Amino acid sequence: MDRDQAWGIVCEFVKSDSLRKHMLSVEFAMRGYAQHYGENADSWGLVGLLHDFDWEIHPTLEQHPMDGAPILRERGLAEADVQTILSHGPLAERVTLRDKTLHAVDELTGLDHGGHVGAPEQEYQ
Ligand SMILES: [Fe+2]
Ligand SMILES: [Fe+2]
C-alpha cells in the first residue's frame, strides 16, 4: 500500500480534524525515527498514518485496533504492517523496533489509550 492509498483510508474513516492531525503527527514522527534508526521511512510512516483509522467506528478498547485489522487486510495492507498497528493497543505485545516506536510515539504525540476512552475530541486537540 502506498501513502496515497493510506491517506484515502484515513479520509474515508476519520472525520475529526484533530484525530487526522494526530495521525499525521504520528506519521511524521515515525518517519523521523525510521531515519534515525536506519529503517524504511515509508513503511514506518505508513503505520503511523493508519494506526487510529478505525477509532471513530470502533471507539472502545474492546474493538480498537483489533476490529480494524480485517478492513486493512481487505484494502491490501501488508500483514507486517497490520501487526504493527495491532501492537499499539494497550495490552498488545510489542515485538519489533517499529512496534515499540509506534507505541512510544503515540503517547508522545498527545494521547494514550486512556485518552481515547474518555473524550477523544478533547484529547486530540
Ligand atoms: Fe489507537
Ligand atoms: Fe493514536
Q: List pLDDT tens digits, range 51-80.
A: 999 999 999 999 999 999 999 999 999 999
Confidence of residue 120 (pLDDT cuts 50, 70, 90): very low
Starting from the CA of residue 48, give the closest ligand: 2
**Residues whose CB is less than 8 angstroms from the CB of residue 28 and which lie 6 or more positions away in sequence, other chains included:** 45, 48
Cα(39) to ligand 1 centroid in Å equals 22
Beta carbons of 48 and 23 less than 8 angstroms apart = yes
Query: pTM for the full model?
Result: 0.88
Say which CATH superfamily domain 3-123 falls into.
Hypothetical protein af1432 (1.10.3210.10)
Cα(55) to ligand 1 centroid in Å equals 7
Indicate the domain borders of the chain: 3-123
Residue 118: pLDDT over 90? no
Grid cell in block for residue 51: 494506526
Beta carbons of 102 and 88 less than 8 angstroms apart = yes
Cα(114) to ligand 1 centroid in Å equals 10
Q: Cα(17)–Cα(7) distance, rounded to whole angstroms?
A: 13
DSSP tag of 66: G
Number of CB atoms found within 10 A of residue 41's CB: 17
Starting from the CA of residue 105, give the closest ligand: 2
pLDDT for res 111: 59
Cα(4) to ligand 2 centroid in Å equals 20
Q: Cα(118)–Cα(62) distance, rounded to whole angstroms?
A: 14
Starting from the CA of residue 26, give the closest ligand: 2
Cα(93) to ligand 2 centroid in Å equals 16
